[in-house]
Structure 1
Amino acid sequence: MPESTTSQPVVSGGGPYTWTSPPPAEDPPSEYVSLTRSWGGVPALNCRTMNTATSLPHGWMCFAHLDGTVYYYDTRRRIVTPEDINEPAIYTKYTAAIERFTAETNNIPGFQAVSAWQTLVVKGLDDPTGPTTYIMDYENGLYIEIVSKDPSNKHIHTEYKTEKFWNAINAFPMHLIRVPKDIDVDFLGALSFGASERIMEWNETSFPFTDEQTRRLVQVYRDLKGDLDKGTDVIPAFCWHISRVMSRIEIARKKSQFGTYDFQLYRNVVPDPVGWEIKIADACLFLVLFGAHRTYRMRLQGARVKGEVYLADFRELLNNFLAEWSAVPFQFPSQQKYLSHLQSTSERDADLAITACFLSIPLVALLYAVLSFSVALGSFCIESNNTHSEILLAVVLGVAGTAGLGTLLFFWHVWRGPRMNEVSEEEEEEWNYGWVARIKSGLNGAREGLRKGVGRLRLLKGKAKDEKDVASVLP
């Protein structure tokens, strides 16, 4: 154990993180240091050059994330924190959190000190429930944290390359000087497996990326990998790219229960049933909005199933919206805001119901205009004494009816109902759902019932004939 000196801090207390005897403050720099952004982000520099009002222990570095955020890294003890340790109050809380973590780990049997390829993360110092601390093991792909059922019962919880692991790399990649072990293998394996699923199966698989997205992700990976092989400092960007993709994939795997007996190859396509409140609102607004709001709500629910938005369905929905809105001569300038100003507070898609009402207003206004014109023309033709008025009314109603029927048939894919059954390998046709499926299901049920009824009648008729034959033989 090193002795205490005036220039270096002492690591003591039986654990790898206890901080004592900070070094004395040095003279602050007279001006800020000018930096130039490089491929790997903003170069690391001692935090003492970032703030002339405070002096921090030697070894601390400040990193600027690719998304613009800033975090701090202690190179001696391998500790990362997003908190502003330039503030004395924050630094005091940080020191207390390290001491608390050290005391907890010392009381856990079998806990080993952090190796050279591990990092301790400390965040949430202002959280009322206490700070969050965990260890990132980049060599073994582990996310390690201390969990407890009660203050006297603490144990180590370890996760292997789960969503938490990738999120941690995504949040703190700039201090990495080596690529975590085999993360590129996991990246290519996950994309290859997901792409092969989409090729061999339907597009309704649980893989979260489309073919175009997968192609672009691999292209970015190859560009970064090529720069990495040339010796360019792109390790932070390389790890950030992989971790963002793997985090999305792990979320999809968790929802589909990947690797378990209950694994679902196909994603959810059946929306949750709406509550009684929305049903009552639909009934009340049916006459006012002509039921158009219900159609919009079903389409929105089809694009966001159980809180998950699939990009291909969402793009198709927006393309349909743009086609409809471009055909309507009058539009409200703020209509597009309705798509983002409402957020769900429950699992019943109440926000989609309200959004659907706003989206249906232009179409309903157009229908009101057509209805007003038809009523005015009908009144004029009926009250007129001209012999051609009735002919004019019949022609106009015929043309309007034909145009309406043609529009309904042309946009049948828009007006059809939502899916009623999840996708399965036994399903005959991928697009066979909605009102068409309901009609076919009803016809098949009626046909099956008729077949069973005819068979039952034949059975009764044969039984009656047998009884008659037996009665004729007996004396």
Structure 2
Amino acid sequence: MYRGHRVLENLRTLPANIRPVPRGWKQYVRMDGDLYWHNPELKLTTYDDIRDRELLEEVLEIEEEHMGWCDNDGFVFPCGTETFIGTVKEDADVVQHVSLSSGIIFSIGDELNIRYDAKQSFWNYFSQYCMHVRRLPPKVEVEFLSAMTFGSNEWILGYQDTTFPFNELQCERIMEIYQVLQRLHQKEAGYRYIPLMLWFISETMLVIESRRTTQEYSSAKMWTSKHINIPKPSWKLQALDCILGFLLFGTQFTFRKRLQLALANRSENISHLREVMDTFLVQWSDSNLLVRHVTYIFFGTDLLCFVQRQL
């Protein structure tokens, strides 16, 4: 009796403005805590709060008009294509089509002009709207595993200027997490772990594609930036290197060489420089407290001399 009384008291404290989800729609919570809604029958996804009748009618009106226009022109969508519509957060209505099995995201303009978005946009979409996915196409996992294998091979072969953003240790951690998710998915039948696997793969691939875009992968500009003759250090820097080499057992040489590569073309490799410094902090955090502070002091001096010379 007492337990039932407490349940009633808790129900009274619930907000009175909770609105039901319309029939045919399902509400999902993104990994960042935001809500979105998906209609399996219409294959329609939106971040607009369709619990508001006006927003629901607006979304359905846009969907009906757009899809009717495509049907009249005889447009055939790829298998498994879902439509995304957004009206609230943008200046203009957003209508995009996403095919997980084909690995594409695109929009349709006037006269059936198709504009394919970058691969980065595809992974960004599924890093946000993945909770309704019930099946993970093999193509997604193949692309993920291929990217990780290619990047790992570059590190193994010693291509330190690779556009691949993860080092050997990070690759091992990523694959460990992926294998754990795979085992959990195989152990428990159903789709419980599919959204989590898709989110993890999308987040990883988003970082990889972002680096490729920033570094202009396979472009002439990228090749030029990677083939710059680094000037020989001055005698002052060489003398400082010798002193630091004696005190730090030569560990600063690796840091300086990596900084030289990152600073060789500052205007194009600022993101690379930022990530190099982040990597240094991670590496130093693994050492003991005394060595870390000594390294900060001496490496800060080394960095200051090097930057002053470059400027």
TM above 0.5, yes or no, is yes
Q: Structure 1 regions of 5+ residues with no counterpart? A: 1-30, 35-49, 271-297, 328-406, 419-433, 439-475
CA RMSD of aligned residues (A): 4.0
1-side partners of 2:29 and 2:224: how far apart?
40
Residue aligning to 1:246: 205
Residue aligning to 1:132: 94
Q: CA-to-partner distance for each residue in 1:92-145, whole Å, 9 max, x for gaps?
A: 3212321342254246x4411564x221111243522x2111111122212121
Q: What SS class does the counterpart of residue 102 from structure 1 fall into?
A: helix
What displacement does 1:416 show? 3.1
Q: What SS class does the counterpart of residue 49 from structure 2 fall into?
A: coil
What displacement does 1:315 show? 3.7
Q: What SS class does the counterpart of residue 85 from structure 2 fall into?
A: strand
Structure 1 residue 192 corresponds to structure 2 residue 149: yes
Residue aligning to 1:166: 123
Q: Who wins on radius of gyration, i.e. which is larger?
A: 1
Residue aligning to 2:49: 84
2-side partners of 1:191 and 1:125: how far apart?
37
Q: 1:111 aligns with which of 75, 78, 88?
A: 75
Give yes or no for contact 1:134–1:145 (8 Å, CA) kept in 2: yes
Residue aligning to 2:280: 316
What displacement does 1:207 show? 1.1
1-side partners of 2:145 and 2:172: how far apart?
12
Give yes or no for contact 2:101–2:140 (8 Å, CA) kept in 1: no
What displacement does 1:305 show? 6.0
C-alpha change, 1:314 and 1:268, in structure 2 (3 Å) is farther
Paired letter, 1:249? I
The 5 A counterparts of 1:328-347 are none
Structure 1 residue 72 corresponds to structure 2 residue 37: yes
Q: Structure 2 regions of 5+ residues with no counterpart? A: 1-7, 230-258
What displacement does 1:262 show? 5.7
Structure 1 residue 120 corresponds to structure 2 residue 77: no
Residue aligning to 2:186: 229
What displacement does 1:199 show? 2.3
C-alpha change, 1:89 and 1:174, in structure 2 (3 Å) is same
The 5 A counterparts of 1:54-453 are 54=20, 56=22, 58-106=23-71, 109-113=73-77, 115=79, 117-128=80-91, 130-148=92-110, 153-158=111-116, 162-232=119-189, 233-259=192-218, 264=223, 306-309=269-272, 310-316=274-280, 413-418=302-307, 435=309
**TM-score where L is the length of structure 1:** 0.46
Q: What SS class does the counterpart of residue 417 from structure 1 fall into?
A: helix
Give yes or no for contact 2:163–2:217 (8 Å, CA) kept in 1: no
2-side partners of 1:55 and 1:218: how far apart?
38
1-side partners of 2:227 and 2:141: how far apart?
29
Q: CA-to-partner distance for each residue in 1:214-261, whole Å, 9 max, x for gaps?
A: 111111011011112223520000111101111111122223333556
Give yes or no for contact 2:24–2:41 (8 Å, CA) kept in 1: yes
2-side partners of 1:304 and 1:268: how far apart?
15
1-side partners of 2:267 and 2:128: how far apart?
27
Give yes or no for contact 1:221–1:238 (8 Å, CA) kept in 2: yes
Give yes or no for contact 2:185–2:194 (8 Å, CA) kept in 1: yes
1-side partners of 2:18 and 2:101: how far apart?
37
What displacement does 1:304 show? 9.5
Q: What SS class does the counterpart of residue 246 from structure 1 fall into?
A: helix
Give yes or no for contact 2:31–2:128 (8 Å, CA) kept in 1: no
C-alpha change, 1:264 and 1:195, in structure 2 (3 Å) is farther
More helix by share: 2
Paired letter, 1:314? D
Give yes or no for contact 2:215–2:268 (8 Å, CA) kept in 1: no
**TM-score where L is the length of structure 2:** 0.68
What displacement does 1:265 show? 9.6
1-side partners of 2:47 and 2:228: how far apart?
39
C-alpha change, 1:255 and 1:305, in structure 2 (3 Å) is closer
2-side partners of 1:324 and 1:186: how far apart?
41
Give yes or no for contact 1:206–1:265 (8 Å, CA) kept in 2: no
Residue aligning to 1:459: none
C-alpha change, 1:125 and 1:269, in structure 2 (3 Å) is farther
What displacement does 1:196 show? 1.5
C-alpha change, 1:104 and 1:112, in structure 2 (3 Å) is same
2-side partners of 1:317 and 1:267: how far apart?
24
2-side partners of 1:269 and 1:78: how far apart?
50
Q: What SS class does the counterpart of residue 109 from structure 2 fall into?
A: strand
Q: What SS class does the counterpart of residue 308 from structure 1 fall into?
A: helix
